[in-house]
């Protein structure tokens, strides 16, 4: 059994109520209902279908006339792509397009193999060698740039230089005091100065009855065989007494009076016993002053006090000393005066 639901189409009330009455479904009551009441009623009925035995197929009827073309249906889904067809013939060459932009530079290719050396050219003619010489060199002012000028020819060059002198630098800081230098060698003895003027007589000695007014000491390394000692080294006390004048091989006694004389003679080696020494006054031997220079001794001493006149000359005389070595004479003279 099959259930069917039917909806009444929207007609007017008279049409719908009357229509349903044809099917035996009364009860609408068209005289008492509105269109909306009856037209919206759902009618359900049961239909019983009974299937009979199928009869034989009838003969095909004649084809009816073609119906009118129906409306175009919706586009169906795209079908599967078919196989590629054969390549068509090549078309005509199209016009040349515009030149495209320049592409990037490709990587540098590998270096090709070196070519074979070419044939050596013919030797050229020997050229003339240039010469080079230095000309003048001058000093310019500090602010002037240094310059070199070629004053020669195209092949013989002479370069003249101009070099600025340096500007005077700032005074440097005072350096530290240097260490004291070594003492220099003693200079040669200068020439003897002139004898000074005689000074005034000093006061008389009051300490004793006899006084020394002046004193002379002298020394000489006597040359073997010389007849007199030559006194070049001496000292006067006082310097300005004016009592003595040393003349080398003689000594002037400038004041009369008494003089105390002491002579020491020494030597390293004597030659026999023939050598002698003595004091001489004005060329004459002073009494009791001669001494023998013996081989067994190394020196002698002579001491005398003599009275002389003003200007007398005293000398130390030698005899027979040719074979002596290391002969020396040391003399001391004192001028004795009476205290007042």
The string of DSSP letters for 120-132 reads PPPPPPPPPPPEE
Tokens 């068209």 -> residue = 30
Q: Are 332 and 319 in contact (CB under 8 A)?
A: no
Tokens representing 295 are 């081989």
CB 159 within 8 A of CB 149: yes
In eight-state DSSP terms, residue 269 is B
The first and second tokens of residue 32, run together, are 């008492």
pLDDT on residue 26: 46
Measured CA distances, 280 to 177, 195, 234, 277, 291 (Å) = 59, 24, 19, 10, 13
CA dist., res. 317 & res. 227, Å (int): 6
Burial class (CB within 10 angstroms; exposed 0-12, middle 13-18, buried 19+) of 331: buried
In what helix (H) or strand (E) does residue 37 lie, and over which residues does it extend? helix 35-39
Radius of gyration of the chain (CA): 84
pLDDT of residue 33: 47
Q: Give the C-alpha separation, 115 to 119, whole Å.
A: 12
Pull the structure tokens for residue 238. Answer: 């006082």
Q: Are 213 and 338 in contact (CB under 8 A)?
A: no
Backbone angles phi, psi at 107, to 5 degrees: -65, 150
C-alpha 143: how far from chain center: 26
pLDDT one digit per residue (tens) for the chain, 340 residues: 445 444 444 444 444 444 444 444 444 444 454 444 444 444 444 445 556 677 788 888 888 888 788 788 788 788 788 788 888 788 788 788 788 888 888 888 888 898 788 788 888 788 788 898 998 999 998 888 899 999 989 888 999 999 998 888 888 888 888 888 888 888 888 898 888 888 887 665 555 678 999 999 999 999 999 999 999 999 999 988 899 999 999 999 999 999 999 999 999 888 777 899 999 999 999 999 999 998 888 899 999 999 999 999 999 999 999 889 999 999 999 999 987 6
312-319 and 275-281 strand pairing: antiparallel
Neighbours of 335 (CB within 10 A): 22
Collect all residues with Cβ–Cβ distance below 8 Å to 43 and sequence separation of at least 6.
5, 6, 8, 20, 25
Residue 74 has phi, psi (to 5 degrees) of -65, 150
| N-term to C-term CA, the chain | 205
CA distance 192 to 259: 25
Q: What is the pTM of this model?
A: 0.40
Task: For residue 21, give the H/E element and its range.
Answer: helix 13-22
Cα 294 from chain centroid (whole Å): 80
The answer to whether 199 touches 314, Cβ cutoff 8 Å, is no
């Amino acid at each position: 059994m099959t259930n069917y639901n039917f909806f009444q189409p929207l007609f007017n009330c008279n049409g719908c109520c009357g229509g349903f009455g044809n099917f035996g479904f009364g009860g609408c009551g068209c005289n008492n209902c509105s269109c909306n009441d009856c037209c919206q009623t759902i009618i359900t009925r049961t239909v019983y279908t009974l299937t009979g035995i199928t009869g034989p197929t009838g003969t095909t009827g004649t084809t009816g006339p073609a119906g009118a073309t129906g409306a175009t249906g919706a586009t169906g889904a795209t079908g599967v792509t078919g196989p590629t067809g054969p390549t068509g013939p090549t078309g005509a060459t199209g016009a040349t397009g515009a030149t495209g932009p320049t592409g990037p530079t490709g990587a540098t290719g590998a270096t090709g193999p070196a070519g074979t050396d070419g044939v050596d050219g013919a030797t050229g003619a020997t050229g003339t060698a240039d010469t080079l010489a230095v000309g003048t060199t001058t000093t310019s002012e500090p602010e002037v740039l240094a310059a070199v000028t070629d004053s020669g020819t195209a092949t013989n060059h002479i370069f003249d230089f101009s070099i600025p002198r340096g500007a005077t630098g700032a005074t440097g800081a005072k350096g530290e005091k240097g260490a004291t230098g070594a003492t220099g060698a003693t200079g040669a003895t200068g020439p003897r100065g002139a004898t000074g003027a005689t000074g005034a007589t000093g006061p008389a000695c009051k300490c004793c009855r006899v006084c020394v007014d002046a004193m002379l000491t002298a020394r000489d390394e006597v040359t073997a065989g010389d007849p007199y000692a030559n006194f070049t080294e001496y000292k006067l006390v006082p310097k300005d007494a004016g009592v003595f004048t040393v003349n080398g091989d003689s000594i002037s006694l400038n004041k009369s009076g008494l003089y105390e004389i002491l002579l020491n003679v020494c030597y390293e080696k004597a030659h026999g016993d023939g050598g002698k020494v003595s004091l001489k006054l004005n060329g004459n031997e002073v009494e009791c002053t001669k001494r023998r220079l013996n081989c067994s001794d190394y020196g002698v001493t002579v001491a005398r006090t003599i009275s002389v006149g003003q200007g007398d000359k005293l000398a130390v005389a030698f005899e027979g000393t040719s074979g002596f070595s290391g002969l020396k004479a040391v003399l001391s003279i004192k001028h004795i005066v009476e205290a007042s």
